Amino acid sequence: MFELRKLPYGTDSMAGFLSPQTFEYHYGKHHQTYINNLNNLIKGSEFEGKELYDIITKSSGGLFNNSAQVYNHDFYWDCISPSPSEPSNELKDAINSEFGSMDGFKEKFINAATTLFGSGWCWLVFVPATKKLEIVQTSNAATPITDGKIPLLVVDVWEHAYYIDNKNARPAYLEKFFAHIHWAFVSSALEWAKKEGAGSVRFYINGLHKK
């Protein structure tokens, strides 16, 4: 049985960005519901007892939607932090190479997240085939790992991620998100993506959901 992961910070630690009420609903209710649904759906199925990575990459329909949403949210919580940090030189070089500058990346990332229609996610990924970074939009529960791309950073643009604090002002939420990116985590994700490829995703997931 899968369990809701622990947050790496307090739900009152991000005043001005995410309120305790947002955490209560987004983490405590939405994320928990995906966990509950996943546990119910795998009972008696071929996926019972399997690792979450395998469920995400081999399932479809409601099982995929709930398993992917567990991972997407897990990753999102680690991409934000109440404390500032700096990207590694390796990450800065990769971003500068692909997007011209950190400011250029911010502009393109926020634009992609703002213009994603409906509910979904905006990602920065490492593409093993090209060894380059890429900004990817996914709708609903879709996740880049099913395409062999390695997530480095994600922002949740489902309305429940920001409506309590920002109403329908997605751009305002995204500006605050960017100011709270956990760059040390993103930097580590790039380092391991280069070393281990998809294996780094499995390792991350298994670190949160031990079997």
Whether 4 and 35 have beta carbons less than 8 Å apart is answered as: yes
pLDDT, position 94: 98
Residues of the chain with pLDDT > 90: what percent?
A: 99
Examine domains 20-79 and 89-200 and report if their fold is the same: no
Closest listed residue to residue 164, CA positions, set 9, 43, 21: 21
> What are φ and ψ of residue 84, in 5° steps?
-70, 150
- What single-letter DSSP state applies at residue 127? E
Instruction: Give every CB contact of residue 71 below 8 A, 6+ residues apart in sequence.
Output: 52, 53, 56, 143, 145, 205
> What are φ and ψ of residue 178, in 5° steps?
-60, -35
CATH of region 20-79, choose from 1.10.287.990, 1.10.238.10, 1.10.3720.10, 2.120.10.80: 1.10.287.990
Whether 67 and 106 have beta carbons less than 8 Å apart is answered as: no
Inform me whether the pLDDT recorded for 210 exceeds 90.
no
> What fold characterizes domain 89-200?
minor pseudopilin epsh fold (3.55.40)
CA–CA separation, 25 and 41 (whole Å): 22
Helix (H, G, I), strand (E, B) or coil at 59: coil
The domain ranges of the chain are: 20-79, 89-200
Inform me whether the pLDDT recorded for 211 exceeds 80.
no
**Mean of per-residue pLDDT scores for the chain:** 97
pTM, rounded to two decimals = 0.98
What is the pLDDT averaged over residues 137-159?
98
10-47: pLDDT as tens digits: 999 999 999 999 999 999 999 999 999 999 999 999 99
